[in-house]
A and B are shown apart, each in its own frame.
Chain A
Amino acid sequence: MEDPVRASLDHCVKCTICETACPVAQVTPLFPGPKYEGPQAERFRQPGASADHSVDYCSGCGICSQVCPHGVKIAEINSRARAAYKAEVGAPLRDRVLARPGVTGPMGSPVAPVVNRVMANGPARWVLERAVGLHHSAPVPPYAPRSFQRWARSHRRGAGVHPDGRSVVYFHGCSTNWFEPDLGRMVVAVLERNGVQVRVPDQGCCGLPLQSNGLFEPARRTLRHLAHDLAAGGGDEPVVASSSSCGLMLKREGREILGLADEDLRAMGERTYDICEFLLDLHDQGALDTDFRRLPLRVLYHAPCQQRGHAMGTPALDLLRLVPGMEVVESAGGCCGIAGTYGLKKEKYGIAMAVGEPLFEQVRTGNPDVVACDGETCRWQITAASDHSSVHPVALLFWAYGLEL
């Protein structure tokens, strides 16, 4: 059988809609755009050979695939081509490090104060940029002193959660584990508040950073490992993810981009939910506790590109609108530019900042109390670029419930 991602190039009629939506093509001539990179260049590609390098400027945001009216899997085609290119030229050390938060996390976390001081130090960052190509201004979050998993291991089931009631597996992702453990605790608390039992199996990375850096083979191994870990000791409970991009990896990117055909992965993908999607489902079933206290905040909600890849609408927006007093506006700017690890790189930092500028401008002029966004790297980027704090939407629900850590 021919691979369906590649075969989808046949549907392109050259309408150019994807070109007008691609945030990267709009800010740099170095990137010839999704139509060129996807359906056009793909006709010139052959297994085991790479003829193009400009595809490395595709950030993988996935917007092109979402807007193509004919179903061309453009971003997926690009990811494959990038992997072929990286396989040929070899990925730089920087990319291989950035691609492995599951490895660097356990190394950085125990020595968090030292690493964090280095990363916050101007001159040291210049040295890093020169040495490995990590842009000196790129938003790199500090390591948390205690990982989420360490907390979860000692966490007792919350009051009001019935052992025979609804239960889920929480897929927290690397960033929650190493950088934002408080977000994980809030997710658990919000779910437990709604009577949902939360299991947090030991788990690693989903392989997305590997995949977006074109390192497909290790990405496949990593994702398989994760699926195995999440399934361990459980039945077929829903898997709930608080990182929209990592959740998407389980839902479909592992299959579509990495080409994994494993049956158990497909089954897990079908029972994977984004946390806001899951909570809104509860609400639709009348099972969400809507006893929120008044929270008079002006919130700008920004749906990350990968969130849109879930094709589930904007459940976060619907949920936040349940909170009395909260004034929620949806962002008009498209992509924030960071696209995982893309905007951290020296040669792409400027592009990423230019891509995000309309969004940052909206934040600056709208001056909300807080920005809500489902993607971690997007939050870090927005905060760094606009000097406004940003949180996961679930954090706002957590506060609206009057919960405390």
Chain B
Amino acid sequence: MQTIETEVLVIGGGATGVGVARDAALRGFATVLVERKDLAEGTTGRYHGLLHSGGRYAVKDPQAARECAAENGVLRRIAADCIEDTGGLFVTTPWDDVEFGDRFLAGCAATGVGVEEIEVGAALVREPALNPDIRRAFLVADASMDAWKLAWACARSAVEHGARVLTYHRVTEVLRNGDAVAGVVTVDVRTGVTLTVRAQVTVNATGAWAGQLAALAGCRPVDVVPGKGIMIAMNHRIVNTVLNRCTMPSDGDIIVPIRTVSVVGTTDSPVTDPDQLEVTQAEVDHMLDEGEKLVPGFRKARALRVWAGARPLFGAKEPGDEKTRDITRAHTLLDHRQRDGLDGFVTITGGKATTFRLMAEETMDLVARMASPGTDRPCRTATLPLPDSEPGAYYAVGSRLAQRERHLLDDQLVCECELVSRRDLTEALDRRPTANIDDIRRALRLGMGPCQGGFCTYRATGILHHQERLDQATANRALLDFLQERWKGLAPILYGDQLRQARLDDWLYQGLLDVEHLPAAAGAP
């Protein structure tokens, strides 16, 4: 078995993990990150997409509000290329208490969340689809943030500073050296090859899986309750500003315009296993009903896809016995030496995607004291922009269309919905060879538009087959896996336009291509 040595080992390739890895690498630590799947395939890639202004927590969770407000400003400086500056509105719908607006303003003032109450008419001019019966409107600095772009930019920056990032490496064992954690054993889920990583300090950044991982280390139970939330992406941008209900946080009270879609969410219910997140018809209906309150006619728009994520909520007693919504959204950093007498091991969990950088900074402040006591290695992530990001240069929804227009004549479209060209695809494969179309999806948004892979999956498979020299059975497996993956998000929302689309896609794949009978390699584990 191969062994590698490092100073800092990070487990988990979500926002928190890549944030820690970048922070560690920038402080000059030898760093390795292991992730069992692809980067941001856990909660980070399944979140609502909102870079919080802090408004949402201004009344209920002042600490979370304060942290979000500060980090919002920091990320706008260092990660502008991952952010669309949509702005956000908190609105009082007929279902909400008008007085809450005053508490909201007071809460914002107390926590440093920038806010301005505007005329209802002005809000309606800005967002014509908004419910005309709203009674108050407040403008905040909410924005939408592309989690995949963010995770990859952090990882790239970490790698540029010497870190190693190992995706598809699952931690199966935590190595102990007496009262200290000495590293982990991982298995490459694609090849089955095992690898030992020895480290001075191991950071458990596995989010909702942090309890499972801590159990492998054999410390006292880490009480993380996965809080399931569902979201539905609607086919286009019905609004261009983040819309929040001005009320205590509740289900389905936010619509986030991100990239080409508008996402309504979310719910919050405790579950036992973050890998088992079922979406029920009742939840879908509930989301659409709530969406309708913010945007009349919402139900008639085309639902594109539904998915669920698991919040890493720390400190609830046990699943089932209380609403997870009441747990703080601020994060938890555990020093297991203090807590369990277990050296070289820390857990960082909870929090928000918005506060990932702060979480990483606090984690690395602790890790730096453990790994190189007495030396001063300050955090640099609050000021050093990510690769490709310039302060203030946000992305816009039209950026990709503008880029496509420049190559109309010399490049072919592969994914028509999300405007992914053949060159985009081959370049992505050059950067990171893969036999998995879902990896390409996260990198390029391929297959994420209205037809949900109907027209691009077979094209991408052909290019993959050609460029990666996949044999026929492996290429067929890639196609089938991707179709299966897309189908998961469609099944619970099959009505109206999306049902029609699914029928057409089905005719293509079953009727025309007879994919059920393709000779395909066995599925991935």
A residues contacting B by CB (< 8 A) are 1-3, 6-7, 9-15, 29-30, 32, 35-36, 39-47, 49-54, 70
**Given A11-B497, A51-B398, A46 contacting B416 (CB threshold 8 A):** no
Q: How far is the CA of A40 from the CA of B390 in the complex (A)?
A: 29
Contacting residues of chain B (164-201) with chain A, CB-CB under 8 angstroms: none
**Selected contact of A10 from candidates B235, B398, B419, CB within 8 Å:** B235
**CB-CB nearest in chain A for B126:** A47
Chain A residues whose C-beta falls within 8 Å of the C-beta of B454 in the assembled complex: 14
Q: How far is the CB of A181 from chain B (nearest CB, A)?
A: 44
Known: A43-B235, A52-B405. 16 other contacts (CB 8 A): A1-B129, A2-B128, A2-B129, A2-B238, A12-B450, A14-B451, A14-B454, A14-B504, A29-B409, A30-B408, A36-B413, A43-B417, A43-B450, A44-B260, A44-B400, A46-B398
A-B contact pairs, 9 of them (CB 8 A): A1-B128, A6-B236, A10-B236, A13-B450, A14-B454, A43-B260, A45-B397, A49-B398, A52-B398
**CB-CB nearest in chain A for B84:** A46
Chain B residues whose C-beta falls within 8 Å of the C-beta of A30 in the assembled complex: 408-409
Q: Lowest 9 CB-CB distances: which A-B pairs, in order?
A: A51-B398, A10-B302, A44-B401, A51-B402, A43-B260, A51-B401, A2-B129, A13-B501, A43-B236
Chain B residues whose C-beta falls within 8 Å of the C-beta of A15 in the assembled complex: 504
Chain B residues whose C-beta falls within 8 Å of the C-beta of A3 in the assembled complex: 128
Q: How far is the CA of A30 from the CA of B405 in the complex (A)?
A: 10
Are B408's CB and A54's CB within 8 A? yes
Are B504's CB and A9's CB within 8 A? no
Q: How far is the CA of A32 from the CA of B409 in the complex (A)?
A: 9
Chain A residues whose C-beta falls within 8 Å of the C-beta of B501 in the assembled complex: 13-14
Chain A residues whose C-beta falls within 8 Å of the C-beta of B404 in the assembled complex: 52
Q: How far is the CA of A60 from the CA of B430 in the complex (A)?
A: 41
Chain B residues whose C-beta falls within 8 Å of the C-beta of A1 in the assembled complex: 128-129, 296-297
Q: How far is the CA of A35 from the CA of B417 in the complex (A)?
A: 10
- From DSSP, what is the main secondary structure of chain B's interface residues? loop
Chain A residues whose C-beta falls within 8 Å of the C-beta of B296 in the assembled complex: 1
Q: How far is the CB of A324 from chain B (nearest CB, A)?
A: 49
**Selected contact of B504 from candidates A13, A42, A43, CB within 8 Å:** A13
B384 CB-CB contact with A under 8 Å: no
B240 CB-CB contact with A under 8 Å: yes
B residues contacting A by CB (< 8 A) are 128-129, 235-238, 240, 260, 295-297, 300-302, 396-402, 404-405, 408-409, 413, 416-417, 419, 449-451, 454-455, 497, 500-501, 504
Chain B residues whose C-beta falls within 8 Å of the C-beta of A41 in the assembled complex: 401
Are B128's CB and A45's CB within 8 A? no
**Given A2-B295, A13-B497, A45 contacting B240 (CB threshold 8 A):** no
Are A52's CB and B401's CB within 8 A? yes
Chain B residues whose C-beta falls within 8 Å of the C-beta of A47 in the assembled complex: 240
Q: How far is the CA of A186 from the CA of B82 in the complex (A)?
A: 65
Q: How far is the CB of A223 from chain B (nearest CB, A)?
A: 21
**Given A2-B128, A2-B295, A43-B237, A54 contacting B504 (CB threshold 8 A):** no
Are B497's CB and A44's CB within 8 A? no
Are A13's CB and B451's CB within 8 A? yes
Q: How far is the CB of B419 from chain A (nearest CB, A)?
A: 7
Q: How far is the CA of A4 from the CA of B297 in the complex (A)?
A: 11
Q: How far is the CB of A39 from chain B (nearest CB, A)?
A: 8
Q: How far is the CA of A35 from the CA of B413 in the complex (A)?
A: 12
Chain A residues whose C-beta falls within 8 Å of the C-beta of B397 in the assembled complex: 44-46
Are B405's CB and A45's CB within 8 A? no
**CB-CB nearest in chain B for A2:** B129
Are B399's CB and A40's CB within 8 A? no
Q: How far is the CB of A389 from chain B (nearest CB, A)?
A: 39
Are A40's CB and B129's CB within 8 A? no
Are A44's CB and B398's CB within 8 A? yes
Chain A residues whose C-beta falls within 8 Å of the C-beta of B417 in the assembled complex: 14, 40, 43
Q: How far is the CA of A47 from the CA of B398 in the complex (A)?
A: 11
Are A53's CB and B398's CB within 8 A? no
**CB-CB nearest in chain A for B418:** A43
Chain B residues whose C-beta falls within 8 Å of the C-beta of A29 in the assembled complex: 408-409
Are B401's CB and A9's CB within 8 A? no
Q: How far is the CA of A349 from the CA of B178 in the complex (A)?
A: 83
With a 10 A CB-CB cut-off, give which of B295, B404, B451 has the most chain A CB atoms: B404
**CB-CB nearest in chain B for A44:** B401
Are B236's CB and A40's CB within 8 A? no
Q: How far is the CA of A200 from the CA of B401 in the complex (A)?
A: 48
Q: How far is the CB of B188 from chain A (nearest CB, A)?
A: 37
**Given A1-B296, A54-B405, A43 contacting B399 (CB threshold 8 A):** no
**Given A14-B416, A54-B408, A9 contacting B236 (CB threshold 8 A):** yes
Are B398's CB and A36's CB within 8 A? no
Chain B residues whose C-beta falls within 8 Å of the C-beta of A35 in the assembled complex: 416
With a 10 A CB-CB cut-off, give which of A35, A44, A46 has the most chain B CB atoms: A44
Q: How far is the CA of A43 from the CA of B415 in the complex (A)?
A: 14
Q: How far is the CB of B508 from chain A (nearest CB, A)?
A: 10
Chain A residues whose C-beta falls within 8 Å of the C-beta of B301 in the assembled complex: 2, 7, 10
Chain A residues whose C-beta falls within 8 Å of the C-beta of B128 in the assembled complex: 1-3
Q: How far is the CB of B109 from chain A (nearest CB, A)?
A: 31
**Given A1-B129, A40-B416, A44-B260, A52 contacting B238 (CB threshold 8 A):** no
Q: How far is the CA of A15 from the CA of B451 in the complex (A)?
A: 10
Chain A residues whose C-beta falls within 8 Å of the C-beta of B402 in the assembled complex: 51-52
**Given A12-B450, A14-B416, A14-B454, A46 contacting B401 (CB threshold 8 A):** no
Chain A residues whose C-beta falls within 8 Å of the C-beta of B400 in the assembled complex: 44
Q: How far is the CB of A78 from chain B (nearest CB, A)?
A: 14
Chain B residues whose C-beta falls within 8 Å of the C-beta of A43 in the assembled complex: 235-237, 260, 417, 449-450
Q: How far is the CB of A267 from chain B (nearest CB, A)?
A: 24
Are B297's CB and A2's CB within 8 A? yes
Chain B residues whose C-beta falls within 8 Å of the C-beta of A44 in the assembled complex: 260, 397-398, 400-401, 419
